[in-house]
Amino acid sequence: MSHLRWTATPFRWYPHDGVRHAIPAGLKAGDSGMTLCGEDVTLPAVWPILRCEPECSLCDNAWRRAIGVQTRNELLARRPGEPSSHLGGCENDLPVSGPEPRSSRCERSAC
């Protein structure tokens, strides 16, 4: 999967009520709108700083479905050896052979 798929979406993250919610990218300061999980928000004049708030799982699932990739739950349920959702697969999809350990994490965020 190309990382452009993630950056070319009509959404962005917005901190609200202690978590990061996905909102339409076109919302501007003072606009009212709705998060992907259905929360009503009004954007302030000064954009809040994104910190280490957890992502809203409902917004994350809706965002992933909108761009055509598996949700985190679908990825976690994937059986070893099944291909990953991004194009070209993942080095972690390959069987381990020989003495070299495979990496513990794919460089792509979808794995």
Give residue 111's pLDDT. 42
Give residue 57's pLDDT. 93
Domain boundaries, the chain: 4-90
Give residue 82's pLDDT. 64
What stretches of the chain show up as alpha helix (H) in DSSP?
4-7, 57-67, 72-77
Give residue 74's pLDDT. 86
| Residue 98 DSSP one-character state | S
Average pLDDT by stretches of 10, the chain with 111 residues? 60 90 92 95 86 90 89 81 54 42 43 42
Give residue 7's pLDDT. 59
Give residue 96's pLDDT. 41
Give residue 105's pLDDT. 42
